[in-house]
Amino acid sequence: MFAWFRRWRDERAAAKNAIATLVRMQIAEGLAPRFLTHKHPYKDDPQLTALMQDGLLSRAAFLQKPPALMKFYRRLLLAMEQEVTSVLEIGVKGGGSTALWKAIFPSATVVGLDIKLRRWLKPQPSADGVIYIEGD
């Protein structure tokens, strides 16, 4: 393979990973309430839609939970009396939910486990402080 192509491919993959991480963290920090009423709120955003159409952003970077489940989570979390110190999510897909858990419980240790981690989810602590483990 040509060196320039390999470099282009690696740079494109790095850019895609950075975009996915940024989107995942932004959703957790500010857009999460939209997921209580819209399953795919990114469809209303022309910039995000264009990034997906261009192949620079994967839908897996977004929360994959339907609004009814997000409402259930909200009721469940509001009923908790003890401080949450750790969260384990099994089956993280693109990491959207784990970023949400970290935003909701910033002092908690959040660990995401998946049989095959997406390339933007790294085993070392990510930019949002979530730890990802690949395993079965």
CA distance 106 to 99: 10
Reported pTM:
0.61
Question: Are the beta carbons of 127 and 103 closer than 8 angstroms?
Answer: no
pLDDT in tens, the chain (136 residues): 688 778 877 777 777 777 777 776 666 666 556 655 666 667 777 877 777 777 777 777 777 677 777 778 777 877 778 888 899 999 988 887 888 788 778 888 899 999 998 877 877 766 667 888 998 8
Give the tens place of pLDDT for each residue, 24-52.
666 666 655 665 566 666 777 787 777 77
